[in-house]
Amino acid sequence: MRESKQPFVMVLFGATGDLAKRKLFPALYALYRDGLVHEHFAIVGVGRSEMGQAEFRKMVQDSIAKHSRLSIAEGQAWENFIGRVDYVALDVNNSETYALLRQMVEAREKTMDDTSNRLFYLSLAPELFGTVATNLRLGGLTQNQGWKRLIIEKPFGKDLESARALNEVISQSFREEEVYRIDHYLGKEMVQNIEMLRFTNMLFEPVWNNRYIDNVQITASETLGVEDRASYYEHSGALRDMVQNHMLQMLMMVCMEPPSKFETEAIRDEKVKVLRSLRRYAEDEISQYVVRGQYTTGEMKGQQVLGYRDEANVAPDSDTETFVAAKLYVNNFRWSGVPFFIRTGKRMPKKATEIVVQFKEVPLLNNFTHAGAVGPNLLVIRIHPMEGMTLYLNAKKPGTDDKVVPIAMDFCNNCDIEGGSPEAYERLIHDAVHGDSTFFTRWDEVSLAWKFVDPIRRAWDKGLVPLHDYQAGTWGPKAVNFLLSEDDVNWWYVRDNEAFTLPAQMQDGVFSRR
């Protein structure tokens, strides 16, 4: 699993981009501040923009000041960090420019007792991933003495065919165990915690199956619209952007069997088995199991917002989906018959990612007069922005003889951590630096995820499934309801940053269905 700290040089392609500024530099700074990387490290930023070292360092400083969970330390500590950051402007398509990059990396390595461990991070447009992997090899950057690793941002392809082609190109320069495909949801504390909750509590594992679980709901809702990413999003849509990766990763974490060891490949093997058991829908079945939607103009926090088709760089007749909901089945012994409802969308009422595990209801016995008011137990795993979990149980209302009320046991994962828990990118970069690829996506996961998603995309492209409208600020198209009503299920109430409350359905001691 994790190696001890070792010196390394990180080459960050896309160092002037949005992700680098908002997430990657703040993450690197936090790792340095928390003493989680070797004292000998350096970052060589690569971008296209011409700028000098001082200007680049100022950009890094501004982005850390704006986006880091930690404030910039005054004095020596900051100087130590920023003094390790270099910049080179080059066009990654031009293989000749890699000689300069190599010189810069080697110059840094000379100051580290000639240790040569290299971490390449591709925070670039996906079309450039293969070219850079190849040019790194042709430019001699991958023939170093120590380890070499390649972190690749998403998306990894746009369908199975393109993902295979990309993988083929990358594999000519890096071995599979050197490739770290990012899915930043796997770096989220509470996504990682699912394993721990499940496999370290005797309370859950015996009932974690189709005998006791009625259904599972996974929501990743966003309040933001497409913002300035339309040129990417128009070709991606919510299916490729969120479902192929983040939603399926959360599903795998919920459904996987206990691994034979808490080791990288053992864990990844179990996750992959979930995707192998995931029921794949044929194109003519998609309309029964998957709903797509696109937001129209509506109100968010009292402000009128644009509909998707009116956003900058979106085609006026775009049929890109900004919302997807689906009913999934994992056809194995543990999960057969349990519906997994997933939904993700932009311009929804709350920013929240959470998983609700709804247990079956107790038998309605004649001698238990209040059975009608007794609702199901729920385990709610809150991933973002609240981190923690809530277990909903039933209990007697104090002062009454027989009135049953829902009660909630709430756990907050990050309330006691100053500055909040580590960001997903901190966790993931830290893992990659230390050779731990557990929370990165293995190639077979990627390919199976595309095998599930591709028929959906094809059915949509053929016009076999309607694209429904939903007003910005709502929970998606009404057409979604049929997915759940067949199973007599409703979406559970989603909290964002609200203080603890019982879900609306549980108030007044009665479980009402919305």
Ligand X SMILES: O=C1O[C@H](COP(=O)(O)O)[C@@H](O)[C@H](O)[C@H]1O
Ligand Y SMILES: NC(=O)C1=CN([C@@H]2O[C@H](COP(=O)(O)OP(=O)(O)OC[C@H]3O[C@@H](n4cnc5c(N)ncnc54)[C@H](OP(=O)(O)O)[C@@H]3O)[C@@H](O)[C@H]2O)C=CC1
Compute the least distance from the CB of residue 508 to ligand Y, in Å.
42
Is 353 near ligand X (CB under 6 A)?
A: yes
Contact 117, 7 (CB under 8 A): yes
19 binds ligand Y per the rule CB under 6 A: yes
Distance, CA of 451 to CA of 280 (rounded, Å): 8
Smallest distance from ligand X to CB 23, Å:
9
| 346 assigned to a ligand binding site | yes
Q: What are residue 400's phi and psi, to 5 degrees?
A: -110, 165
Whole-angstrom distance, CA of residue 225 vs CA of residue 240: 16
CB-based contact 112:68 (threshold 8 Å):
no
Where helices occur in 280-376 by DSSP H, the ranges are: 286-289
Report the site for ligand Y in 148-207 (rule: CB under 6 A). Answer: 153-154
20 among annotated binding-site residues: yes
Question: Which window, 18-26, 186-194, 284-292, 324-332, contacts ligand Y (CB under 6 A)?
Answer: 18-26
Contact pattern for ligand X over residues 207 through 246, marking x by CB under 6 A: ---------------x------------------x-----
Is 222 flagged in the annotation as binding? yes
- For residue 313, what are its two tokens? 């760089």
Q: Does 353 bind ligand Y (CB under 6 A)?
A: no
Catalytic sites, residue numbers:
246
Q: Are 8 and 80 in contact (CB under 8 A)?
A: no
| Residue 48 touches which member of ligand X, ligand Y, none, C-beta under 5-8 Å by kind | ligand Y
Look at residue 189 and give its three-state secondary structure: helix
Tell me which of ligand X, ligand Y, none is bound by residue 438, counting a contact when its beta carbon lies within the kind-specific cut-off of 5 to 8 angstroms: none
**Could you tell me the two tokens for 191?**
């996504």
Partner interacting with residue 353 (select from ligand Y, ligand X, none; CB below 5-8 Å by kind): ligand X
With H, G, I as helix, E, B as strand and everything else as coil, classify residue 335. Answer: coil
Of 26, 126, 307, 477, which one interacts with ligand Y (CB under 6 A)? 126
Write the DSSP symbol of residue 202: T
Is the Cβ of residue 131 or residue 193 nearer to ligand Y in the bound state?
131
Nearest-10 crossing angle of helices 264-277, 248-255: 110
67-106 footprint of ligand X as x/- string (CB under 6 A): ----------------------------------------
Cα 267 from Cα 295, distance rounded (Å): 38
Q: Tell the smallest beta-carbon distance from residue 478 to ligand Y (Å).
A: 30
Alpha-carbon gap, residue 221 to 484, rounded angstroms: 18
When asked if residue 476 is in the footprint of ligand Y (CB under 6 A), the reply is no
User: From start to end of 385-474, where are the E strands?
Assistant: 388-396, 404-412, 467-471
33, 198, 309, 384: residue in contact with ligand X (rule CB under 6 A): 384
Which letter, b or e, does each residue of 293-312 get, where b requires 16 or more Cβ atoms within 10 Å of its Cβ?
Answer: bbbbebebeeeebbbbbebe
Comparison of 214 and 354: residue with beta carbon closer to ligand X = 354
For the annotated binding site, the residues are: 14-21, 48, 91-92, 154, 184, 188, 222, 241, 346, 351
* Residues near ligand X, by CB under 6 A: 222, 241, 353, 384
- Binding site per annotation, positions for substrate: 184, 188, 222, 241, 346, 351
Binding site for ligand Y (CB under 6 A): 14-20, 47-49, 91-93, 123-126, 153-154
